[in-house]
């Protein structure tokens, strides 16, 4: 089973920040998945929209803290928080507000409606006190 230790995976500096390419290492082709590593005050050009690609995006903060701006909304997020930008035409950006911030970015264009999580509702309820 493919897995990636983000603390050991290569980081590639670009004008858009310091990125970790994850698709190849994970063997994933259905959507884009990369991680960005950033520090407070680090300057990189990440403000963008996905009008041309039609991509929807989700961001998972795995370490540190980040401030996200999605359209006119701003939110701070720490480890375990997921922020989304479902409208491709809305401008989005993020920045680190704590040291050692790492954000996993996931994106792809919408496809035919799929019940990605409905199986959870359809699964039998288990007694958690077992």
Give pLDDT tens digits for 84-126.
999 999 999 999 999 999 999 999 988 766 666 677 777 866 6
- The structure's pTM equals 0.88
Report the candidate in 51, 59, 52 with the shortest Cα–Cα distance to residue 106. 59
pLDDT of residue 72: 97
**15 has pLDDT over 80:** yes
* Domain locations along the chain: 12-122
pLDDT of residue 91: 98
| Range from 52-66, 75-89, 107-121 carrying the lowest mean pLDDT | 107-121
Report the candidate in 51, 52, 36 with the shortest Cα–Cα distance to residue 90. 51
SS3 labels along the chain: CCCCCCCCCCCEEECCEEEEECHHHHCCCCCEEEEEEECCCCCCCCCECCCCCCCEEEEEEEECCEEEEECCEEEEECCCCEEEECCCCCCEEEEECCCCEEEEEEEECCCCCCCCCHHHHHCCCCCCCC
**38 has pLDDT over 70:** yes
Task: Label residue 83 by pLDDT band (50, 70, 90).
Answer: very high
| Fold annotation for 12-122 | Jelly Rolls (2.60.120)
CA distance 87 to 54: 8
């Amino acid at each position: 089973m493919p897995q990636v230790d983000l603390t050991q995976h290569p980081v590639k500096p670009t004008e858009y920040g310091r990125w970790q390419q994850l698709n190849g290492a994970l063997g994933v082709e259905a959507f884009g998945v990369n991680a960005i590593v950033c520090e407070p005050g680090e300057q990189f050009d990440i403000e963008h929209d996905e009008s041309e690609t039609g991509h929807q995006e989700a961001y998972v903060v795995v370490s540190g803290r980040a401030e996200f701006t999605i359209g006119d909304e701003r939110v701070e997020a720490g480890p375990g928080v997921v922020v989304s930008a479902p409208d491709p035409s809305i401008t989005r950006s993020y920045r680190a507000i704590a040291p050692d911030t790492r954000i996993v970015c996931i994106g792809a264009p919408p496809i035919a409606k799929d019940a990605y999580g409905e199986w959870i509702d359809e699964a039998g309820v288990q007694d958690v006190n077992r």
